Structure 1
Amino acid sequence: MQIYPIQTGYFKLDGGAMFGVVPKVIWQKTNPADANNLIDMSLRCMLIEDGKRLILIDNGTGDKQSEKFFSYYYPYGDETLDNQLAKYGFHRDDITDVFLTHLHFDHCGGSIQFNKDKTGYQPAFKNAKFWSNKDHWQWATHPNPREKASFLPENIKPIEESGQLHFVDIPKEGILKNSPLGFDILFVDGHTDKQMIPMINYQGKKLIFMADLLPTVGHIPLPYVMGYDTRPLITMSEKEKFLQKAVENEFYLFLEHDAVHEVCTLQQTEKGVRLKETFVFNDLFSQT
């Protein structure tokens, strides 16, 4: 198995929304805001090469939304999904599986693209299976008013219409062992219903793709919960359990949204679980 970090770009979000009830005077120490109160966010995805399978975990915002839509999020950076895949010798047509942690636009927008004459939509990965789960799919296709702006029909419905949609099972105990993707999956409900967190054994380490369970290192303290989360108290409970396991088992956390740090580890302190170390992915793991 070989894993590659795939940086699909950067964008900006309101710092207050990203930290909920935590005051700006505190959160800006780790996530400094600009004059408009916006903080930098990464759209970092993961590519897993495992035998004949090439698995892409999440895929950023894509580029099909309107100029007005993107004006709310200030996308920037020269990195794209295509040039990042090419960096490692791959093309999007090589992707065999697209695993979507959840269906918010910044995680699945790259799944679908315009057709040639822009009269409709088509999968951006024509040879891939798209993986979600039934409960989250139902949640996203019948959205509540709070999340409706993040669940965009043009990102979701064409996947089902393509015939390329597949579901993983939802376990009773919260973790799906030996999933069809070859890694374990932790299911969490605080941010959105049945978000999926990949847990990967890699080069002797346990690597966790954090998605929106832990957006940045600034979100490690328990009360630092996004205003976007639908069930913040559940998020805190899920975070507490996960962070304790991460310390006890020396997990390496792959950060999708941290604009500065790619991977981190945690430690127990008098104040609770806190950051231990940060790493550049390709420095931490050998590329053979």
Structure 2
Amino acid sequence: MKLYPIETGNFKLDGGAMFGVVPKAIWQRTNPADANNQIDIAARSLLVEDGNRLILIDTGMGNKQSDKFFGYYNLWGNHSIDSSLKKLGFHRDDITDVFLTHLHFDHCGGCIQWNKDRTGYELAFKNAVFWTNEDHWKWATEPNAREKASFLKENLLPMQESGQLKFIKRTSDKYQSESELGFGFHFVDGHTDKQMLPQISYKGKQLVFMADLLPTVGHIPLPYVMGYDTRPLLTLAEKELFLNKAVKEEYLLFFEHDAHNQLGTLKQTEKGVRLDDIYTFDQIFN
């Protein structure tokens, strides 16, 4: 098995929304805001090369939305899925599986693109199977008013119509150690229902893809919960359990949304669980 970080593109989000009730004077120490009160955000995917399988975990926003839509998120930098794959000697047609932690547009938008004539949509990874879980699919395709703007039909329905959508067979456990894809998942419900955080055993490390349970290094302290979460008190409970387990089991955390930090470890302190150290992927695995 080989793992590769894939930078799909950077954008910005409102710092207050990203940190909920935490005062700006505190959160801007780790996530400085610009003149518009926006902070740097990454859309960092993970590529898993395992035998004949090439699995992409999350896809970023993609590029099919309107200029007005992207204008809300102030895209910056020159990263893209295609350029990131090319640097590794891969092409999007090589992807056999796309695993989606959840179906908010900044995690799955890259699954679907305009067709050649821009008259409709098509799969951006034409040879891939697309993986979610049945409960989250129902949640996303019958959205509540709070999340409706994050679950976009043009990102979801083409997957279903293609016949290449599959559901993870899950147990009733909050942590499922095995799956059809060869790695396990933590199921968390505070941000959105049945979000999945992959955990992969790799080169002696237990790497956990944090998705939106811990978007950035700045979100590690327990009360630092996003305003986007649908059930913030549940996120608190889920974070507490996960953080303590992460310290005990010495997890290596992969940050999907931290534009400046790829990987981190945790430690227990008098103030609770805090960041121990940060690393680049190359520092740990090369």
TM-score normalised to structure 2 length: 0.99
Contact 1:113 1:123 in 2 (8 A): yes
Contact 1:192 1:229 in 2 (8 A): yes
Secondary structure of the 1:35 match is coil
2:255 maps to 255
Counterparts of 1:283 and 1:269, CA distance in 2: 25
Give how far 1:170 is off.
2.8
Q: After superposition, where does 1:31-46 map in structure 2 within 5 Å? A: 31-46=31-46
* 1:21 alignment partner in structure 2: 21
- % identical equivalent positions: 67
Say yes or no: does 1:71 pair with 2:71: yes
SS of equivalent residue, structure 2 residue 211: coil
In structure 2, what residue type is equivalent to 1:133? Answer: N
Report if the CA contact (8 A) 1:109-1:155 is conserved.
yes
Runs of 4+ in 1 over 4 A off after TM superposition: none
Aligned length: 286
The C-alpha deviation readout for 1:241-276, integer Å capped at 9, x for no partner, is 000010001100000000110000000000000000
Does 1:126 pair with 2:129?
no
Q: Which amino acid aligns with 2:81?
A: L
The 3-state SS of whatever aligns with 1:244 is helix
> 2:136 matched to 1:136?
yes
Separation in 2, partners of 1:71, 1:122: 24
> Which aligned pairs between 1:148-159 and structure 2 lie closer than 5 A?
148-159=148-159
Unaligned runs of 5+ in 1: none
SS at match of 1:4: strand
Name the SS of the counterpart of 2:76 in structure 1. Answer: coil
Q: TM-score, normalised by structure 1?
A: 0.99
Give 1:102's aligned residue: 102
Report if the CA contact (8 A) 1:169-1:176 is conserved. Answer: no
Match of 1:215 in 2: 215
Q: What is the aligned partner in structure 2 of residue 164 from structure 1?
A: 164
Q: What 5-or-longer segments of structure 2 have no aligned partner?
A: none
Q: Secondary structure at the match of 2:48?
A: strand
C-alpha distance in 2 between matches for 1:139 and 1:258? 26
- Residues 214-233 of structure 1: matches in 2 within 5 Å? 214-233=214-233
Q: Deviations over 1:100-140 (max 9, x none)?
A: 00000000000000111011101100100000000000000
Deviation string, structure 1 residues 192-212 (Cα, Å, up to 9, x no partner): 000000000000000000000
Q: State the one-letter code of the partner of 1:194.
A: K
Distance 2:106 2:244 in 1: 28
RMSD: 0.6
Paired residue type of 1:274: R
Within 2, Cα distance between the matches of 1:40 and 1:16? 13
CA distance in 1, matches of 2:120, 2:164: 17
Indicate the residue corresponding to 1:59 in structure 2: 59
Match of 1:49 in 2: 49
Residues 11, 42 of structure 1: 8 Å contact kept: yes
- Structure 1 residue 177, shift from structure 2 partner: 2.3
